[in-house]
Chain A
Amino acid sequence: MYSPDSRAADPLAGRSRDGGMTVTATSNPTEPSLPRTDALIRLDDVTKRYDGDAAAAVHGVGMQIAPGESVAVMGPSGSGKSTLLNMIAGLDRPTSGTVTVAGERIDRLSETGLARFRRRQVGMIFQFFNLLDDMTVTDNVLLPAQLAGLPTAKARARADELLTALRIEPHRNAYPARLSGGQRQRVAIARALVNRPALLLADEPTGALDTATGQEIGELLAGLNASGQTLIVVTHNPDLADRYAARVIEIVDGRVASDAATGARR
């Protein structure tokens, strides 16, 4: 089973001397073969059906993801990949089947239990960054730590560490509207990591960025994964999936159509 110790890996451990993230090549991409016994995430026969929809958004999906893996979830629009991510994040519940994260059945947790789960386990970034435009970069990054009740000094130290590692420290007092798309996504990543989550989930993280900036964010995410951060990325971008994930799961019509290792970072 998943060991709590395995989530202690700090993505900042891979920081280079100049404060940037190192992107470490791996010669041992994770094999997708089942079953895994050390799964951080385990979905068993998960189906999600929304009220009024005849077809299930997700149908009978089973998968396991080990700690430290980087997984890209791909598929056409409406294929169910974001629904899948939301269920792993505890933002949505399956209609049937079970979702287990870090040894805990999250599909049967109460709202309070889910909030506790998200505090410990989940950081999430989205396509459009979702930053508060009336708060500075630092305040945006600090928010989840403050909401989790982290002491102010510790939260600030952690935010400083992340801002430096993600190379946005010079913009710490700027408002998001003054930043480029790539910088905003870096702020969103820092915010997602401030509570040291076991899981970093990304829903189309490069969807609103130009190609070069998208690659930059892809490398950043790969660097975080190389440092031990478990990463699941939902993307339409095959280049992002092939270059920066070790495993690609393709979802079509709510079902797993393929699940294969890539040659990422080789």
Chain B
Amino acid sequence: MTGFLILEMRRSLRDLRYLVIAVALPIGLYLLFTGLFGSHGQRAQGLSQPTELMVAMVAYGAMWAVFSATGSRIAHERAIGWTRQLRVTPLSPVAALAGKLTTALAAALPAMVLVALTAVASHDVRLGAVQWLAMLAAMWAGVLPLALLGLAIGYLAGDEIAFPLTMALYFALGALGGLWMPPSVMPHAMQDIGQALPSNAVAELGWRIAGGQASVPKAVLVLAAWTVGSGLVALLAYRRRNTLSVH
């Protein structure tokens, strides 16, 4: 299992799409948005503009990191026969699935930390040590349903469709989830939709913790619901592709 995790992490860190979309793009967007919208305004939850945008881009980068390690990669591996080959190796199917999920979550960490470091270096964003840890840990745990959604796409979609589908989902979740612009400036209907999305819930966790507000029950409920839903779909999709038939 350890060997598989090391292998998958190596592959993630060498994946150009991951480096560009999960790491470089959120950092670039952070610098662009703070440059365009100014650095000193107050935003929702009483956060400064750079802090609010940092949280949004941490969520954005983490989202693609887990998608890139699951959706289109798994669909491609199925297409080239690697998933089939993996079944002939000593790795059990359950371990392979757990390894994919663990790798996806691990791939989110560099993307998240690098955006935070950029915010600190470029705009002197300051949080307490406990706040930093709590914010990053909560947001990291919060991307679990997105990783499960990526697994579901990987086991359901074909190779050609998986990447555009994941990209479309990524942009939709980013825009509707309030990661590109504050949810408060969106129409009410879109706000309602946005609040039910896991992308918004992940950012909401971060915004509230960064703003010193401990209570985040709605976001936790949204994420829990998405975890159950995505997890079930991912499990069914995986079983459809991989399960041994039984007596």
A111 to B81, CA, bound (A): 20
Q: Are B82 and A147 interface neighbours, CB within 8 A? A: no
Q: Are A111 and B94 in contact (CB under 8 A)?
A: yes
- B194: min CB distance to chain A, Å: 35
Residues of A within 8 A of B77 (CB): 132
CB-defined contacts of A93 to chain B, threshold 8 Å: 244-247
Q: Determine how close the nearest CB of chain A comes to the CB of B168; give it in whole angstroms.
A: 24
Determine whether the beta carbon of A119 is less than 8 Å from that of B244: no
Find B88's partner among A122, A128, A149 (CB 8 Å cutoff). A122
- Contacts A50-B245, A112-B92, A147-B91 given: A130-B7 contact, CB under 8 Å? no
* Interfacial chain A residues near B95, Cβ < 8 Å: 115
Residues of chain A lying within 8 A (CB to CB) of residue B91: 115, 147
Per the bound structure, the CA–CA distance linking A219 and B91 in Å amounts to 31
Cα distance, A126 to B80, chains bound together (Å): 11
Q: Give the distance to chain A from B13, nearest Cβ to Cβ, in Å.
A: 11
B-contacting residues, A180-234, CB 8 Å:
195
Whether, in the assembled complex, A134 has its beta carbon less than 8 Å from a beta carbon of chain B, the answer is: yes
Q: Is there a chain B Cβ closer than 8 Å to A143's Cβ?
A: yes
Which residue in chain B gives the minimum CB-CB distance to A201?
Answer: B88
Write the nearest CB–CB distance from B236 to chain A, whole angstroms: 15
A128 and B80 contact, CB distance less than 8 A: yes
A129 CA to B244 CA, complexed, in Å: 22
Given contacts A93-B245, A111-B93, A134-B14, is CB(A146)–CB(B7) below 8 Å? yes
- Decide if B90 touches A144 in the complex (CB within 8 Å): yes
- 1/0 contact trace for A102-125 toward B, CB 8 Å? 000000000110111011001110
CB atoms of A92 and B85 under 8 A apart: no
CB closest residue in chain A, given B15: A134
Interface residues on A, range: 35 or more
Q: Which residues of A contact B80 (CB under 8 A)?
A: 128, 130-133
Chain B 1-45 residues near chain A, CB threshold 8 A: 3-4, 6-7, 11, 14-15
Contact A51 B89 (CB under 8 A): no
Within 8 A of B (CB), among A42-94: 48, 50-51, 89, 91-94
A147 and B4 within 8 A (CB): yes
Q: For A128, what are the chain B residues with a Cβ–Cβ distance below 8 Å?
A: 80-81
Chain B minimum-CB-distance residue to A49: B245
Q: Is A173 an interface residue (CB 8 A)?
A: no
| Contact A118 B14, beta carbon cutoff 8 Å | no
- Residue of A at shortest CB range from B90? A119
CB-CB nearest in chain B for A124? B88
- C-alpha spacing A123/B89, complex, angstroms: 8
**Distance in Å: Cβ of A104 to nearest Cβ of chain B:** 15
From A96, A116, A126, A133, B90 is in contact (CB under 8 Å) with A116
Q: Is A144 a contact partner of B89 (Cβ separation < 8 A)?
A: yes
Report whether A91 and B11 are in contact in the complex, using a CB–CB cutoff of 8 Å: no
The interface residues of chain A lying within 8 Å CB-to-CB of B247 are 93-96
Mark contacts of A130-161 with chain B using CB atoms, 8 A cut-off: 1 yes-contact digit, 0 otherwise.
11111100000001101111000000000000
B244 touches A132 (CB 8 A): no
Nearest B residue to A203 by beta-carbon distance?
B84
Complex alpha-carbon distance, A124 and B91, angstroms: 14
Any A CB within 8 A of the CB of B87: yes
A30 to B180, CA, bound (A): 70
**In the bound complex, do residue A51 and residue B245 qualify as a contact, i.e. CB atoms below 8 Å apart?**
yes
With a CB–CB cut-off of 8 A, which chain A residues contact B87? 91
Could you tell me the distance between the alpha carbons of A128 and B80 in the complex, rounded to whole angstroms?
Answer: 8
Write out the residue numbers on chain B whose beta carbons fall within 8 Å of the beta carbon of A48.
245
- Of B14, B85, B88, which is in contact with the most chain A CB atoms at under 10 Å from its CB? B88
Contacting residues, chain A, for B84 (C-beta < 8 A) = 126, 130
Given A111-B93, A128-B80, A92–B88 Cβ distance below 8 Å? no
Question: Given A93-B247, A111-B244, is A148 in contact with B90 using a C-beta cutoff of 8 Å?
Answer: yes
Residue ranges of B at the interface with A (Cβ–Cβ < 8 Å): 3-4, 6-7, 11, 14-15, 77, 80-82, 84-85, 87-95, 244-247
* Interface, chain A (partner B; CB < 8 A): 48, 50-51, 89, 91-96, 111-112, 114-116, 118-119, 122-124, 126, 128-135, 143-144, 146-149, 195
A132-B77, A147-B90 given; name 16 further pairs at CB < 8 Å.
Answer: A50-B245, A51-B245, A91-B88, A93-B246, A93-B247, A114-B244, A115-B91, A124-B88, A126-B84, A133-B80, A134-B14, A146-B3, A146-B6, A147-B4, A147-B89, A149-B90
